[in-house]
């Protein structure tokens, strides 16, 4: 009966998507530049969610109510094979610089860089001087440039977004913070906010502060402040939702009461069925197998292994997570409605992506904290929880593993692109794409040549991505050449791809075999059958691809 009720409720949610949103902004001071804009140059809105899984939003098969993103998808194009780095700051460095994160200075996350790598070239822990900033290039060519949200690319004034080409900036410098101004009892907060390079104390945030709402408020202020300059804008909405701790306004999370009572498998299967119906997956796609209980973080059990109390807590955690995602969608709707009301929407190139796969870790607040993680407390300012590995497997459906791994579930993210003036759905693009490609794509649409070798007298790392323009305009079928190679490494997790083949080695041995695994992505993108023993020559070929990648990008061996 539970399963029938779940399917009925999911069907109602899927079929009941409607466009919502509003606009709400304050005026701010004028932009710093008054360079006349060419009419042909589009505005650019880049929206990045934090730890949002592949299947969370409606357009990618999820049951969470995301009408604004679904409407964006219906007027744009889905990219179903869009790849990121395995975690947040490496991905964000690739977005801003257009180069591999080892070149950009985030060879490992600053917080997780072992002593033997600290200070090595490419492991500075911040966006280094060799990294060209997309915002800097656009600013120099007459764009208004704004960021609101997570920076995570440097803690010092010299590495702040304010000096990386952004005219206006409100930024969280660390990788995460609480989503409310209030904190759990005893919680030691370690968060730094800056506006235009100047520190903003947490105490100075409004009492009704909620991260996603406030980041949107700021971005709307910045957009409003410069709308009469006739310059195009580059606006980076760098949200921290739905990154842990899982917190959401009650009016959003309570909409999902009972939706997740049926458990992990029922929700995951419903999402995968919807993905096949939408054409995101082929009908014969074999999804990844859930990780065995003994290998999962904190030995997280499968649904049938949980007590009734554990099931209730798990279901409520996911209700709160869904509320975070719906609140994110609501705020994206606010931006879109503002652009429409101000006459800027038609000439705006819009991207929506996540910075990596779903968060699969399972942790707790810092020592001494006393969060209220009771059923009634979950999701409030006093709580501190994660969705954990089992809901992460749902979030990452249909792929293997989650954030900070070499599995497809860690590096594949949802992606939507809407061109200026586009009003209808374009054919889903199933070919490989990367966050590295955003840099050249934006410059291509802005009519700006991608800088190479030097910029304003300094040596730079050359951006390495490919523009999507020809694919987005239906002038070519693929972004990259036939038989291209691609590889990455982070915190000891490694992979390399060429053609239909992929090798992967998980940094945490309990999540893999401890050696190179081989998968045929054409037939098994769910990574269910390891073919390494059957095709050792293919493993050797891809191992050489990976070796060449490490030499080219200065990748050093990660040892904890």
Q: How far is CA 95 from CA 109, 131, 160, 216, 358, in A?
A: 15, 11, 16, 20, 19
Given a cut of 70, whether residue 525 has pLDDT beyond it is yes
Q: Can you give the pLDDT at residue 39? A: 54
Once rounded to an integer, what is the mean pLDDT over residues 496-510? 97
Nearest CA-CA partner of 139 in 228, 232, 42: 232
Q: Sign of the C-alpha dihedral, residues 21, 416, 50, 191?
A: negative
Pairing relationship of beta strands 43-49 and 348-354 according to DSSP bridges: parallel
pLDDT category at 23 given cuts 50, 70, 90 is very low
Q: What is the mean pLDDT of residues 312-326?
A: 98
What is the rounded distance in angstroms from the CA atom of residue 84 to the CA atom of residue 74? 23
Structural domains of the chain, with CATH: 43-485 (3.40.720.10)
Which H, E and C letters describe 127-189, residue by residue? CCCCCCCHHHHHHHCCCEEEEEEECCCCCCHHHCHHHCCCCEEEEECCCCCCCECCCCECCCC
Q: Any bridge partners for residue 210, and if so which?
A: 180
Convert the pLDDT of each residue in 472-483 to its tens digit: 999 999 999 999
DSSP code per residue over 56-124: -SGGGT--S--HHHHHHHHTSEEEEEEE--SSHHHHHHHHHHSS-HHHHT-SS-GGG--TTTTTSTT-S
430 catalytic? Reply is no
pLDDT of residue 29 exceeding 80 = no
The answer to whether 99 touches 461, Cβ cutoff 8 Å, is yes
CA nearest to 134, candidates 412, 460, 395: 460
Which of 88, 102, 162, 491 is an active site residue? 88
Q: What is the mean pLDDT of residues 542-549?
A: 98
Q: Per DSSP, which regions of 207-338 are E strands?
A: 233-238
Question: CA 531 → CA 519, 524, 541, distances in Å?
Answer: 6, 11, 14
507: number of Cβ within 10 Å: 18
In contact, 13 and 325? CB cutoff 8 Å: no
Element (H, E) at 486: strand 485-490
Identify the CA nearest to 66 among candidates 399, 339, 323, 300. Answer: 323
Question: pLDDT tens digits, residue range 47-86?
Answer: 999 999 999 999 999 999 999 999 999 999 999 999 999 9
User: Each residue of 457-474: pLDDT tens digit?
Assistant: 999 999 999 999 999 999
User: Which whole number is the average pLDDT over 474-499?
Assistant: 97
Kindly state the helix (H) or strand (E) to which residue 455 belongs, with its residue range.
strand 454-455
Report pLDDT digits (tens) over 418-462.
999 999 999 999 999 999 999 999 999 999 999 999 999 999 999
Q: What is the DSSP code string of 244-272?
A: SS----HHHHGGGTTTTTT-HHHHHHHHH
Q: Which of 65, 102, 139, 152 is catalytic?
A: 152
152 as an active site residue: the answer is yes
Phi, psi of 335 (to 5 degrees): -65, -45
Is the predicted pLDDT of residue 36 greater than 50, yes or no? no
pLDDT over 90 (residue 364): no
Tell me which H or E stretch contains 390.
helix 388-395
How many whole angstroms separate alpha carbon 168 and alpha carbon 184? Answer: 31
Q: What is the mean pLDDT of residues 260-288?
A: 98
> Is a pLDDT exceeding 80 seen at residue 24?
no
pTM above 0.85, yes or no: yes
For 139-177, what is each residue's pLDDT tens digit?
Answer: 999 999 999 999 999 999 999 999 999 999 999 999 999
Q: Which residue's entry shows tokens 């794509």?
A: 441
Burial of 97-129, coded b for 16+ CB within 10 Å and e otherwise, reads bbbbbbbbbbbbbbebbeeebeeeebbbbbbbe
- Averaged over 509-534, what is the pLDDT? 97
- What's the CA gap between 315 and 248, in Å, rounded? 15
The pairing of strands 233-238 and 43-49 is parallel
Q: Are 253 and 379 in contact (CB under 8 A)?
A: yes
- Identify the residue whose tokens are 């490989």: 432
């Amino acid at each position: 009966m539970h399963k029938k009720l779940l399917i009925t409720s999911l069907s109602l949610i899927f079929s009941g998507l409607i466009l919502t949103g509003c606009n709400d902004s304050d005026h701010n001071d004028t932009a710093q530049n008054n360079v006349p804009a060419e009419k042909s140059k589009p505005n650019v809105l880049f929206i990045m969610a934090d730890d949002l899984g592949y299947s969370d939003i409606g357009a990618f098969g999820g049951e969470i109510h995301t009408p604004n993103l679904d409407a964006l998808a219906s007027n744009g194009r889905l990219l179903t094979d869009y790849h990121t780095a395995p975690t947040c700051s490496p991905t964000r460095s690739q977005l801003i610089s257009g180069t591999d994160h080892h070149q950009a200075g985030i060879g490992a996350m600053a917080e997780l860089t072992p002593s033997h790598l600290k200070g090595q070239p490419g492991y500075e822990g911040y966006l280094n001087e060799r990294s060209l900033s997309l915002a800097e290039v656009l600013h120099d060519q007459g764009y208004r440039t704004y960021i609101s949200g997570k920076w995570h690319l440097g803690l010092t004034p010299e590495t702040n977004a304010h000096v990386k080409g952004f005219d206006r900036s409100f930024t969280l410098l660390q990788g995460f913070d609480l989503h409310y101004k209030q904190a759990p009892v005893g919680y030691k907060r370690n968060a730094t906010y800056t506006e235009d390079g100047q520190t903003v104390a947490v105490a100075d945030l409004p009492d009704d502060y909620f991260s996603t709402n406030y980041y949107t408020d700021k971005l709307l202020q910045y957009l409003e402040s410069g709308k009469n300059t006739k310059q195009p804008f580059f606006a980076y909405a760098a949200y921290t939702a739905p990154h842990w701790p899982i917190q959401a306004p009650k009016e959003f999370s309570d909409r999902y009461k009972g939706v997740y009572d049926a458990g992990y498998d029922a929700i995951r299967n419903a999402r995968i069925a919807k993905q096949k119906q939408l054409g995101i997956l082929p009908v014969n796609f074999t999804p990844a197998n859930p990780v065995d209980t003994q290998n999962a973080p904190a030995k997280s059990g499968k649904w049938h292994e949980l007590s009734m109390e554990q099931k209730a807590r798990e279901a409520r955690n996911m209700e709160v997570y869904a509320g975070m995602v719906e609140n994110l969608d609501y705020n994206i709707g606010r931006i879109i409605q503002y652009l429409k009301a101000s006459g800027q929407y038609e000439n705006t190139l819009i991207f929506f992506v996540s910075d990596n796969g779903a968060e699969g870790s399972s942790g707790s607040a810092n020592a001494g904290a006393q969060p209220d993680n009771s059923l009634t407390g979950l999701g409030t300012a006093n709580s501190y929880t994660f969705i954990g590995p089992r809901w992460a497997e749902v979030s990452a459906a249909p792929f293997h593993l989650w954030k900070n791994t070499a599995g497809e579930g860690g590096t594949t993210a949802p992606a939507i692109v809407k061109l200026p003036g586009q009003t209808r759905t374009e054919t889903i693009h199933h070919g490989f794409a990367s966050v590295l490609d955003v840099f050249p794509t934006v410059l291509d649409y802005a009519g700006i040549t991608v800088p190479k070798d030097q910029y304003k007298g300094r040596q730079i790392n050359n951006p390495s991505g490919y523009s999507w323009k020809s694919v987005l305009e239906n002038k070519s079928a693929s972004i990259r050449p036939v038989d291209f190679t691609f590889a990455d490494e982070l915190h000891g997790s490694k992979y390399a791809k060429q053609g239909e083949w992929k090798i992967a080695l998980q940094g945490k041995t309990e999540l893999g075999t401890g050696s190179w695994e081989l998968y045929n992505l054409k037939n098994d993108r769910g990574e269910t059958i390891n073919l390494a023993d059957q095709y050792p020559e293919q493993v050797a070929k891809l191992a050489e691809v990976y070796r060449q990648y490490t030499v080219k990008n200065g990748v050093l061996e990660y040892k904890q």
